[in-house]
Structure 1
Amino acid sequence: MNEVNGLYIDMRGVVKRSDLEAEVTEALESSLTKIKRFLEGIRGVEISGYSIGIKWKGRDSISLRGLLEEINKKNERFVIVLDEVQSTRPPLSYELKNIIAYSYDNLENIVFILSGSEIGLLRDFLGYEDPSSPLYGRGVYEIVVERFTPELSREFLVRGFREEGLEPSLNVIEEAVSFFDGIPGWLTLFGRRYIEGVRDINSIKEEAIALALSELEKLGEREKLVLKAIAFGARSWSQVRDFILEKYGLALPKSTLSRLIDKLEKLGVVKNYEFLDQVYREATRRLIVKAT
């Protein structure tokens, strides 16, 4: 199999253009031994040993679009993975979509892979069916990683551990399969922590719950109220409304409540008034919320 050349960039916390430029520089440096030939001779790019410097501003500088144009001239496939890209906000998100659209139309050797854990928001970000989006009408190949079956979860863990020379007990594997409920990300977290030497599965569970809780705490108070209602058994629009009214004394208008539920589904936390995994259900139970 041919080696894939390119970059991986985690977009979480990338707020402005300078953040993106810093992440691109760091990603290029971390892969420098593999992609050095793509960068040699480009104006504004300085390579010294295993370090790289990019002049993004001022005289003899280069823009991100210009950098991609130069890399494209190497006539080799170059893949850029933008992870959790749906978390970006305007104006950066619009600039980023313009760069992707330009690359799609003009740079045949540049390939973008956009990934995210919140599929609904990722589709909203792309906007390939929205005439106002720079990516409107562009071809998109979508791959959705579905929840693993218990059998596939078990095989995923066993094979991964075998590659690392480990063979956890069947009880450990079964507990992980049961709790992480086929979610690839949580199973990967469990496997990585176990390989790193964490043998207390409860501590790994707590880490996963803490990660989920940190994400939920970023939501608005009313979104948290809806999640609380679902976590404690509400299974319909009216049950969610009644729970919030009875427990917090807040009457939400129908349109507001429907909008909140729709957003939570796009976030990939719930669907049809059910949590998509046990980790987020437990994290929601621990949320501290107040009616606003």
Structure 2
Amino acid sequence: MDEAVKLFDGIPGWLAFFGRSYSYAVKHSHQVDIKVILKEAAKEVSKDFTRFLKTSNSPTRHAEIILALSRLGNKGSLSEIRNVINSLFKEQIGNSRLNELLGTLINYGFVVKLGRGKYALPSDLPTRVGLRGLGFIEFS
């Protein structure tokens, strides 16, 4: 169980996901493999992010923010994120628009606000593996 807490970063939703998967495996006399449960959780993140992008009014911009944060070592300031987007994608994005987009990503749990003007990708493994599986982030 300690391994599950570490892998799922102590996040209640992921721990509930683990608990449900674990109890199902035990109830049906299946081998419990925490890595399989982690893979299932990561698939859920991939599905959620894909669904999010499909329903988003700005899927390209949201994806660019995730990619920019990944390029910045999974965290960065508003100006760093803006500079990476402007440089990589040869586009200009203003701070107010970037703030709006970041707010949406924060509300959906794909970005975490660390403090005033500082943002990061979530540190929980299911989210990182799920976004990595879609090609959005690299492990650092």
TM-score scaled by structure 1? 0.37
Structure that is richer in helix per residue: 2
Q: 1:259 to 1:193 in 2, by over 3 A?
A: same
Residue matched to 1:204: 37
The higher-RCO structure (CA 8 Å, 6+ apart) is: 2
Other structure's SS at 1:250 match:
coil
Residue correspondences, number: 117
Report the CA distance shift for 1:186/1:256 in structure 2 as closer, same or farther (over 3 A): same
SS of alignment partner, residue 235 of structure 1? strand
Cα distance in 2 for partners of 1:227, 1:262 equals 13
When Rg is computed on C-alpha atoms for both structures, the one with the higher figure is 1
Q: Which runs of 4+ in 1 moved over 4 A?
A: none
| Structure 1 residue 277: Cα displacement | 4.0
> Shift of the alpha carbon at 1:270?
2.1
Partner of 1:190: 18
Distance 1:221 1:286, change over 3 A: farther
Q: CA offsets per residue over residues 29-82 of structure 1, 9 Å max, x none?
A: xxxxxxxxxxxxxxxxxxxxxxxxxxxxxxxxxxxxxxxxxxxxxxxxxxxxxx
CA RMSD of aligned residues (A): 2.1
> Using the alignment, how far apart are the partners of 2:133 and 2:90 within structure 1?
20
Q: How does 1:61-210 map to 2 (within 5 A)?
A: 173-197=1-25, 198-210=31-43
Runs of 5+ unmatched residues, structure 1: 1-172
| Residue-by-residue CA offset, 1:227-275 (whole Å, 9 max, x unaligned) | 2222342410111112223333333222221110111122233222123
Percent of aligned positions with the same letter in both sequences?
32
Please give the residue correspondences for 1:210-225 in structure 2 after superposition, counting only pairs within 5 Å.
210-217=43-50, 218-219=52-53, 220-225=59-64
TM-score (norm 2): 0.71
Runs of 5+ unmatched residues, structure 2: 26-30, 54-58, 114-118
